[in-house]
Amino acid sequence: MGCICSKGIPANDYVAENHCKERHLKSNRSSRHGTSLRKEESVLHSDGGQSDAMARLILNQPGEENAGSTTESDGAEKVTSIGKVGSAKPLRQERPTMEDGIKRVGVHNNNATPRIIGVVIGEKGALVIAGWPSWLTSVAGEAINGWVPRKADSFQKLDKIGQGTYSSVYRARDIETNKIVALKKVRFANMDPESVRFMAREILILRRLDHPNVMKLEGLITSRVSGSLYLIFEYMEHDLAGLVATSGIKFTEAQIKCYMKQLLSGLEHCHAQGVLHRDIKGSNLLIDNDGNLKIGDFGLSTFFRPRQKQPLTSRVVTLWYRPPELLLGATDYGVSVDLWSAGCILAELYAGKPIMPGRTEVEQLHKIFKLCGSPSEEYWKKSKLPHATIFKPQHPYKRCVAETFKDFPFSALALLDVLLAVEPDGRGTASSALRSEQLCSMLMNYLVNHIKPGRTV
């Protein structure tokens, strides 16, 4: 449920007809049927012979890093359609729910860490995934398993609302439902398998997550001609960074608490599902006109297992929201990286601007130590961080979070002091942050309502 006080701020897969029909096709097919199957085969192998490799979801494996107009504006962009092989009638395109898709792909196993690798498939597997372009199925088949692609001509682009290095975002109308949606167009350079594999991981993650404060992936649009892929999301009118930067907008304490509760609730769900976001920042926190906040952009996210060490990259999280351990080269980390970023967001909401806008990694680390203090000697020895010898300060810094933000409300300052702990273990969890914030709010309400002016406690 959104924040009332903030209102007004501005994939059916083919149905293979079982083994008996396959045997019948193999032994009795006419030359017409043979031609049809050969044509289907040629489409599926149009990727230079690489289509025998598709991505599989391997559970319980460690590892991580390998892991307005219509869309006719892409040129003569043809949209895939799915029909039954050997049948004059194409299958009616359906729109499976997210829950159906997740059950099929089997990503609700909270103790499993999906990993995308290539394995050999046979003709039956190729028939199941027919209708999707071979460059996608060859490395990302499991991510799209259970879904059918939506048609591009089912949407009308209204305007472009975002642009990135590898993607563009459009506001569009779903012609079938008349609903306004956001279309994220992803471009792949020369169909690079590694880039597609990263995209597949993002899709898998989005299909695992199902929470009111996390952006929901509603479907996919793909084209064999342009080599692009569209992700369909619900449309949100604002992002938090844009609102913070808008002159004349100053959030009330009630609004900030509401946004932080939603952010921490979304993170709590992500972490419970074994997902690290790794890029929490204002522009990735989307807000609608009713004050509902949703975490978006899972492009840098990864699956993790809390009690099992696994090497992760430290080159994640936007610089201003990156925790000190990542700046020091840590490859063994967990939910604490997202909590640090959440702490930066909390302070930014009260201050009205980013609190540590470093230009380089060295400057960013200096700003962190200056505000949050430097880690203890025990931490330096125990962590054995790759860049510790380079960046460890000669003299320890004193922590001054409370002094710097003395004008913040008591409940916010208490939570901020935890989230911006310079040592990761001190940041707790999203669940503990939610509990502490609620307890502080209860305490403050009690003091306001029961303590008379001039009386001390």
Catalytic site residues? 279
Bridge partners, residue 275, by sequence? 303
- Residue numbers in the known binding site are 184
Cβ pair 147, 101 in contact under 8 A: yes
Of 197, 99, 214, 196, nearest to 146 by C-alpha is: 99
Q: How many residues does the chain have?
A: 457
Q: Which residues make Cβ contacts (< 8 Å) with residue 439, sequence separation at least 6?
A: none
Cβ pair 153, 69 in contact under 8 A: no
> How far is CA 342 from each of CA 130, 154, 277, 296, 410, rounded to the nearest angstrom?
42, 38, 11, 14, 17
| Gap between the Cα atoms of 335 and 338, Å rounded | 6
Cβ pair 213, 268 in contact under 8 A: no
- Tokens read off for 450: 């029961």
- Residue numbers in the known binding site for ATP are 184
- Tokens read off for 133: 């372009």
Of 56, 199, 197, 201, nearest to 119 by C-alpha is: 56
**Sign of the C-alpha dihedral computed for residues 288, 274, 118 and 128 taken in this order:** negative
